[in-house]
Structure 1
Amino acid sequence: MRRAADGAGRGAATGSTPRGGGVTGEDRPVVARATSQGPWLFGVRHHGPGSARSVRAALDAVQPRAVLIEGPPEADELAHLAADLEMRPPVALLAHATDDPGRSAFWPFAEFSPEWVALRWALDHGVPVHFIDLPAAHTLALRAADDLATGKAGKAGRGDDGENGTTGRAGEEEERPPGPDGPPDADADASADAGGEPRRPHPEALRVDPLAVLAEAAGYDDPERWWEDVVEHRGGTGAGTEDDAGETALASFHALGEAMGALREEFGDGGHARDLVREAHMRVRLKAARKEHGDSVAVVCGAWHVPALARRTTLAADRALLKGLPKVRTGLTWVPWTHRRLARAGGYGAGIASPGWYGHLFSAPDRPVERWLTRVAGLLREEGRQVSSAHVIEAVRLAEALATLRGRPLAGLTETTDAVRSVLCEGSDVPLALIEDRLTVGDVLGEVPAAAPAVPLQRDLERLQRSLRFKPEAADREIDLDLRKENDAARSRLLHRLRLLRVDWGAPTVSRGGTGTFRESWRLSWQPELAVRVAEAGVWGTTVASAATARARSDATSAGQLADITALAELCLRAELSDALPEVMRALADRAALDTDVGHLAQALPALVRSVRYGDVRGTDTASLAEVAAGLAERIFVGLPPACTGLDTDGAQELRHRIEAVHTAVGLLADTAAARVDGAGLRERWRVVLRAIADRETAPGLVRGRAVRLLLDEGTLDEEAVARRMGLALSPGTPPPDAAAWVEGFLGGAAGGGMLLVHDERLRQLLDVWLASVPAPAFTDVLPLLRRTFSAYETGIRRTLGELVRRGRPSAGDPAAGGGTLPGAPADGFGAGLDLERAEAVSEALRHLLGDLAQVGAVDGGAG
């Protein structure tokens, strides 16, 4: 193993061809030697710029008559689109089951992916190109069978990634450790050799990471660093003539193939039983290509598969492994991909940690470190940091020195990052995080030509995006929409309709420009899996409007709770789906008439009232909505006081939030629908309900305190009435925990509780007296409740309250106590008295200043 790793390193670094372990035989593929006639097996790492350069150099050297690429064969009909001028990687092949679009698989390609380079080389040279991996029809069916067998069907967060693709439901990938081609499934307990005889895998073969094994054998503790040293920074760089570059690339592929052969001899299938089936299909396609094109065939596949493709097998044995595989009807297309989704942090198991860095290595013609650090300096300058050319020069020197000390052939990402942190960022990790996000990973979003197949809904969405000048972007960005402007209103409609279709391109956020109903704020981010969501939504209609309407009608019929229907009605109004609204309203009226749970009614009312309000803003007739909302409010008024009895702590907290929401909703309903409902009467009846709750002894203290506070804010109760209720709630006969809950309800929640205590001396005194009278054993139970209440106040308010409490209760002559200020008593906000000794220290300076000011005033007066 050590010999294989060293051979791979020497072959990649120097272009020499190691001895031993080579594949021989007249009818067997060879692993990249220029003197051979083929076929040639080029083992690569997916998304590796060094592998991509080597593939290009090797193809130029051998000039094959056909190119075979690891990927779904159904994509052969789409291969020509890679040469379209509108195609901009990163992109991905998307395969989905036609009867279940959510069951899908991606095969991503970046500009620096070896498969993409091979595909473009074949198209540019007019050479036939074919994909040879297991068909997507089988891949999706096998994944569905696995989920069914393990009970994981439809389970959130479950996905599966294969060699160069991810399968599973959209957005349900999980991270896997990377290998040269991303380790596939390890579901099986047993594997089989090429002849199909089952055998137990090596004990260490479960989830084998080939790079980690080779790196360890070569004396590296980091497989990524080993791969960069032997491939990305050395192999296939094309130094010297084109022939030299080709020979170097072929030698590196030969050495890597021998290393993988040693691994396969030691670990078998590495715990990835399904590889045997995939490799059998690849061999079948390879034999078919050799029959059609002769031996001049080049194969670009994951390095892990090279020994299996070079093995001598019969066609009958390979077809026996493929017999009886399940399959489903599939559809394929190209979709845009992003650098973030290529990153391992994005969940793609065969991904890379730094796609932006790898893209730079592939595109930089020379001096990659200098060019990279120049880009970093440009980004920091754009962000307002002072970075000069001298900083860049010193950073380059430091990166090269670190690479020399660490024995690396070229400064890698680790060395450049250390140099950037030390020189350009002055030791700070804050700007380094910006560089990691913008450059190391990047937010590049690919583009796909209009000729690519797509469902009609996708075409309509693209048309709307063009007409609204609303281009998708991979990076998160926030936008503010003014609904009084036609284009902004149309954008808002589109985003709300997509939310109905579960295509979450945008998420509503709190508006930064104000709280008016004419403004909306959104956070936008287009992710590749949204293409699957659009395909899934295509079953509802051919346009965004028709699909959203059909989905809204279906959701209204299947909604489980009243609050779901009211939220749906609000969304329909914002999306302006007038055709769906009548059906939603019928479902709302039916469900509201049958639902007797006051909690459900209180939960549903706010969204319904917002619908009335937004209907007025958008010019929609909401008379029926206002009537339903008023009827709902009346039922809440009747049922709410009895519902306040017998609640535990969690129930009281929930009811308190419901009361706050209903209070806001009643105010909005009374103001916005005054012409359709008795606004004044509605508001007055709600005040009666709040008063009944405030005086209900069986209600929790938290709820009673909140009701009193709402009445105080409304002006229904004056300060004297509030002080009386507070005195009763905090009387010695009330258990301290109940009293603390009343205080939390009265002072917590909405803003203003702290300011009320700052300015109302009587309430503050009452609270202070009660707190001082709490017995020591009960104080331990009361303290957490009070800390939770007062911790919500701003720091300045807490400091002011502490100062007022430290000063003590008002004197007899305090205005708050009904008398005048006592002589010598401090004014509010000042200390206890004047320190004459400290004042004398500045009196001389004050006399000079006042004298100078008096002289200036006299001069000005004379001039006047």
Structure 2
Amino acid sequence: MLVDKVFYLGIRHHGPGSANSVLRALASFAADKILLEGPAEAAPLLAQINHPQLQPPVAQLFYATDQPAEAVFYPYTRFSPEWQTLCYAQASQTPLEFFDLPQTHALALKRNGSVQETEAEEGQSPLDDIDSLTLDFDPLDLLAHAAGFEDGEQWWEQMVEQNPQEGEIFTAIAEAMSVVRTAIEAERPLSLREQYREAWMRRCIRQARKDGYQKIAVVCGAWHVPALVQPITAKQDTALLKGLPKTKINATWIPWTYSRISRHSGYGAGVASPGWYDYLWERNQTGASHYAVSSGWITRAARLLRTQGLDISPASVIDAVRLAEALATLRDRHPPNPSDMTEAMQTLFGLGDPTALKLLDERLWVSERLGQVPDDMPQTPLQQDFQHQLKSLRLQKEAVEKLLELDLRTDSGRNRSVLLYRLQLLGIAWGSVSKDSRSKGTFKETWQLQWRPEFELSLIERNLWGTAIASAAATFALAELSQAGSLALLLEGLQQLLLADLPAAVSSAMGVLQARAATTNQIDELMLALPGLVRIVRYGDVRATDTAALKQLVVSLTVRINIGLINQCRQLDEDTARTMADALATVNSALQLLDEAELNTAWQQVLVRLAATDGIQGVLCGKCYRLLENAHVINAEAVAEALSLALSRAEEPTQAAGWLEGLLSGAGLALLHDDSLRQVLDTYICGLTRERFEAITPLLRRTFATFAFGERRSLLDKVLYDAPATGLSLAEPDFDHTQAALVLPLLDCILGVTHNHG
């Protein structure tokens, strides 16, 4: 759209058709000045446009010098009209200037708005006028619906992206957008932020004219074009922009990914299928026909599905291409768009099932492409240290998720693991350890790695905590631990520091942990954390961690557990009591592994007192007796006597069943080989009334279900054929074998076994 020697090129921010149309229009117009939508702070970054290492997708990152977390990204792909405009200006040596509102003002407005928001009255937010989006929907939807399309994405793709045209298309876009803006602004006012931006753009256009340029090309979002040609005076714009706040800004290039260009990522100017647009741009540059474009794309999809084990024949590919062409023809459009090709592939490749094509969403339509930036880009010291470690450890940032198996016995594997754990401490989750990574021993770790662009900003933010990864991770982690609300978080943080090989930070964290443990009543959290520390103390690890200080911590935690355990076990409900019983067993195993006689003796004394305490759940009493017998503190006769008392008629059925659960859970061999214990249990069950038997049977079955199948089978044989060990003699004259046989199937059900009673 040409107005007063200014050629307005209204574009969509990421689209191959728009990019092609812009290039043709710029070449035809032969501008002597190009104004491109973008903040003025991006000007120094233009020097890297032709750098061979600057490979899109990339983004311009602008962040406040004093608050790096306050940042904004301007993404570019190779099919972005803005990127192609930058490349054209460099190749043709045409002066180019960014003419959007500078980020020195934009970020300051956002900051001021955030401060004011906390002081505003309820229901009113200054951000509604300063930093909110102009619209909560795509304005192109209005045009799309009028033309019979489902949404603005489909309409724009069909009209512009797959049918690139020269100058006249921009006049049509400007006229259409003018109608849309008039209709929208009649219902809702333009946000103050957008008014600032467009006033600044008009000011830059006036300045370019004042500087003597005769042919000015303006490349900006199509939404802005109607506002830029309005007859608004310089005085009005100056009054609006007067007194804008400022803040100091830094700018750099960072790698970006197509997944972050996708609309599904939450990016407001995103597109549904950046992978498709990249392919469309590539084929357009080669002059490929519409048929070659659609057939090539469907062939790529088939090739990808074959790598995942799906059998896609060449005949199916040919039929899918023909079906896509037929669908486009039936719908009165040409060439086929993504929905036509998706339906065709679903029919021919997935036999109507969309599940088979889910893989294509991420790997093909969106794509996993990751950009690249020059090594000599301005970086913070922390970024420089990170890049140095990447090179020395031969690690590469990739957008696609990949597995990395590390051998911690080697320096390379150990150092890679340490770096990844230190990044986790900094809140940069580049990798996560697979849950089953230690199945083959403690010397192996399997990491799942996937780099995301926002990690670059996180590195810039964390530079405030240190100039090296190690020092920043230690300082940041300790600051986080000082704010931890629970012992569980403290212990988790301590273990992370150990894995990250930060001994000085570990010492500080242990001091914080000991101080918190001395005053806490969260004994259950201490019990859950103790085993992990004990394993490191007992066996060490492949990182050669110094365990002397850790051992002292284990002693301190054990003493604290012993002091608070009995009170912690009072007045628990059944579910919590079972969890505590498991914790008792875990701590007992850990202390046995540590093999410190003094600690074990003190722990066993606590178990004796706990078993004799009134008002605790039966499952805890039973577990105490099991642990004490296993440690030979008490003998089998004492256990049988305690069980007999617990199973007396004075006890509630649920309490008695809980006692049995704690004593026998997972210990079927003990019941199988201890005749006295089995006799007490047998006598108890035989003496139950019908009502008590029916109440306790489900609880007993839950206990017997923890036995191994072989244990349950052997126990049933004991009951059937080892009569002298039972409390009831099968030789009694009045014993009715017929009635007894009717009970045996129910007994099978209780024990969870099958048995032939013939």
> Shorter-chain TM-score: which interval?
0.7 to 0.9
Query: In terms of mean alpha carbon deviation, does 462-471 or 343-352 score higher?
Result: 343-352
CA, structure 1 residues 384+282, in 2 after alignment: closer, same or farther (shift >3 Å)? same
1:494 paired with 2:419, answer yes
State how far apart, in whole Å, the 1-side matches of 2:503 and 2:440 are: 26
Deviation at 1:511?
3.2
Deviation at 1:310?
1.4
1:65 paired with 2:32, answer yes
State how far apart, in whole Å, the 2-side matches of 1:469 and 1:350 are: 35
Deviation at 1:535?
0.8
Aligned counterpart, 1:175: none
Alignment check: 8 A CA contact 2:657 2:696 kept: no
Aligned amino acid, residue 340 of structure 1: S
Aligned counterpart, 2:499: 574
The equivalent position to 1:212 in structure 2, one of 141, 157, 171, is 141
CA, structure 1 residues 514+642, in 2 after alignment: closer, same or farther (shift >3 Å)? same
Alignment check: 8 A CA contact 2:110 2:131 kept: no
Aligned counterpart, 1:854: none
Deviation at 1:534?
0.6
The equivalent position to 2:613 in structure 1, one of 696, 699, 702, is 696
Aligned counterpart, 2:51: 84
1:97-131 per-position Cα deviation (integer Å, ceiling 9, x unaligned): 22121121111112222211212221222222222
TM-score if structure 1 supplies the norm length? 0.75
Q: How many residues of Structure 1 are paired with residues of Structure 2 in the alignment?
A: 729
Aligned counterpart, 1:422: 347
Q: Secondary structure at the match of 2:71?
A: strand
1:366-408 per-position Cα deviation (integer Å, ceiling 9, x unaligned): 2211111111111122223222221211110111112222222
Aligned counterpart, 2:114: 147
Aligned counterpart, 1:291: 210
The equivalent position to 2:128 in structure 1, one of 187, 194, 210, is 187
CA, structure 1 residues 405+439, in 2 after alignment: closer, same or farther (shift >3 Å)? same
Deviation at 1:491?
0.4
Alignment check: 8 A CA contact 1:339 1:441 kept: yes
Deviation at 1:145?
3.1
Aligned counterpart, 1:435: 360
State how far apart, in whole Å, the 1-side matches of 2:640 and 2:396 are: 58
State how far apart, in whole Å, the 2-side matches of 1:296 and 1:559 are: 62
Aligned amino acid, residue 153 of structure 2: E
State how far apart, in whole Å, the 2-side matches of 1:792 and 1:127 are: 80
Aligned counterpart, 2:720: 811
Query: In terms of mean alpha carbon deviation, does 381-390 or 278-287 score higher?
Result: 381-390
Q: Secondary structure at the match of 2:70?
A: strand
1:372 paired with 2:290, answer no
TM-score if structure 2 supplies the norm length? 0.84
State how far apart, in whole Å, the 2-side matches of 1:68 and 1:458 are: 32
State how far apart, in whole Å, the 1-side matches of 2:95 and 2:610 are: 80
Query: In terms of mean alpha carbon deviation, does 651-660 or 39-48 score higher?
Result: 651-660
Q: Secondary structure at the match of 1:102?
A: coil
Aligned counterpart, 2:734: none
1:548-563 map, 5 Å: 548-555=473-480, 561-563=486-488
Aligned amino acid, residue 122 of structure 1: A
Aligned counterpart, 2:428: 503
CA, structure 1 residues 318+623, in 2 after alignment: closer, same or farther (shift >3 Å)? same
State how far apart, in whole Å, the 2-side matches of 1:473 and 1:379 are: 19
Aligned counterpart, 2:546: 621
Alignment check: 8 A CA contact 1:369 1:416 kept: yes
State how far apart, in whole Å, the 1-side matches of 2:29 and 2:508 are: 67
Deviation at 1:690?
3.3
Aligned amino acid, residue 167 of structure 2: L
Aligned amino acid, residue 223 of structure 1: G
Aligned counterpart, 1:157: none
Q: Secondary structure at the match of 2:22?
A: helix
Deviation at 1:569?
3.3
Q: Secondary structure at the match of 1:70?
A: strand
The equivalent position to 1:321 in structure 2, one of 240, 248, 255, is 240
The equivalent position to 1:48 in structure 2, one of 15, 37, 44, is 15
1:799-838 map, 5 Å: 810-811=719-720, 813=722, 817=726, 830-833=755-758
Deviation at 1:488?
0.4
Aligned amino acid, residue 469 of structure 2: V
Deviation at 1:554?
4.0
The equivalent position to 1:643 in structure 2, one of 568, 581, 588, is 568
State how far apart, in whole Å, the 2-side matches of 1:79 and 1:771 are: 90
State how far apart, in whole Å, the 1-side matches of 2:222 and 2:686 are: 74
Deviation at 1:622?
2.2
1:300 paired with 2:229, answer no
Aligned counterpart, 1:331: 250
Q: Secondary structure at the match of 2:268?
A: coil
Deviation at 1:341?
1.5
State how far apart, in whole Å, the 2-side matches of 1:405 and 1:759 are: 79
Aligned counterpart, 1:341: 260
1:524-535 map, 5 Å: 524-535=449-460
Query: In terms of mean alpha carbon deviation, does 264-273 or 389-398 score higher?
Result: 264-273
Aligned counterpart, 1:176: none
Aligned counterpart, 2:180: 263
CA, structure 1 residues 466+734, in 2 after alignment: closer, same or farther (shift >3 Å)? same
CA, structure 1 residues 121+820, in 2 after alignment: closer, same or farther (shift >3 Å)? farther
CA, structure 1 residues 126+724, in 2 after alignment: closer, same or farther (shift >3 Å)? farther
Q: Secondary structure at the match of 2:217?
A: strand
Alignment check: 8 A CA contact 2:140 2:151 kept: no
1:121 paired with 2:121, answer no
1:232 paired with 2:161, answer yes
Alignment check: 8 A CA contact 2:683 2:727 kept: no
Q: Secondary structure at the match of 1:504?
A: coil
1:740-751 map, 5 Å: none
Deviation at 1:742?
5.0
1:108 paired with 2:75, answer yes
State how far apart, in whole Å, the 1-side matches of 2:669 and 2:97 are: 73
State how far apart, in whole Å, the 2-side matches of 1:684 and 1:249 are: 88
Q: Secondary structure at the match of 2:100?
A: coil
Alignment check: 8 A CA contact 1:573 1:614 kept: no
CA, structure 1 residues 609+332, in 2 after alignment: closer, same or farther (shift >3 Å)? farther
CA, structure 1 residues 623+62, in 2 after alignment: closer, same or farther (shift >3 Å)? same
1:221 paired with 2:130, answer no
CA, structure 1 residues 104+706, in 2 after alignment: closer, same or farther (shift >3 Å)? farther
Aligned counterpart, 1:138: 105
1:410 paired with 2:319, answer no
State how far apart, in whole Å, the 1-side matches of 2:56 and 2:610 are: 63
| Structure 2 alignment gaps of length 5 or more | 732-736
Deviation at 1:259?
0.7
Deviation at 1:327?
2.6
State how far apart, in whole Å, the 2-side matches of 1:503 and 1:97 are: 20
Deviation at 1:432?
0.9
Alignment check: 8 A CA contact 2:672 2:678 kept: no
State how far apart, in whole Å, the 2-side matches of 1:290 and 1:637 are: 83
Q: Secondary structure at the match of 1:214?
A: helix
CA, structure 1 residues 634+768, in 2 after alignment: closer, same or farther (shift >3 Å)? same
CA, structure 1 residues 772+262, in 2 after alignment: closer, same or farther (shift >3 Å)? farther
The equivalent position to 2:587 in structure 1, one of 640, 645, 662, is 662
State how far apart, in whole Å, the 1-side matches of 2:99 and 2:668 are: 70
State how far apart, in whole Å, the 1-side matches of 2:305 and 2:682 are: 54
Deviation at 1:558?
5.2
Q: Secondary structure at the match of 1:67?
A: strand
Aligned counterpart, 1:852: none
1:258-297 per-position Cα deviation (integer Å, ceiling 9, x unaligned): 1110011222285541211111111112222333361322
Aligned counterpart, 2:405: 480
CA, structure 1 residues 409+777, in 2 after alignment: closer, same or farther (shift >3 Å)? farther
Alignment check: 8 A CA contact 1:186 1:272 kept: no
CA, structure 1 residues 379+592, in 2 after alignment: closer, same or farther (shift >3 Å)? same
Query: In terms of mean alpha carbon deviation, does 209-218 or 643-652 score higher?
Result: 643-652
CA, structure 1 residues 726+111, in 2 after alignment: closer, same or farther (shift >3 Å)? farther
Aligned amino acid, residue 233 of structure 1: Q
Alignment check: 8 A CA contact 1:339 1:355 kept: yes
Q: Secondary structure at the match of 1:71?
A: strand
Query: In terms of mean alpha carbon deviation, does 823-832 or 109-118 score higher?
Result: 823-832
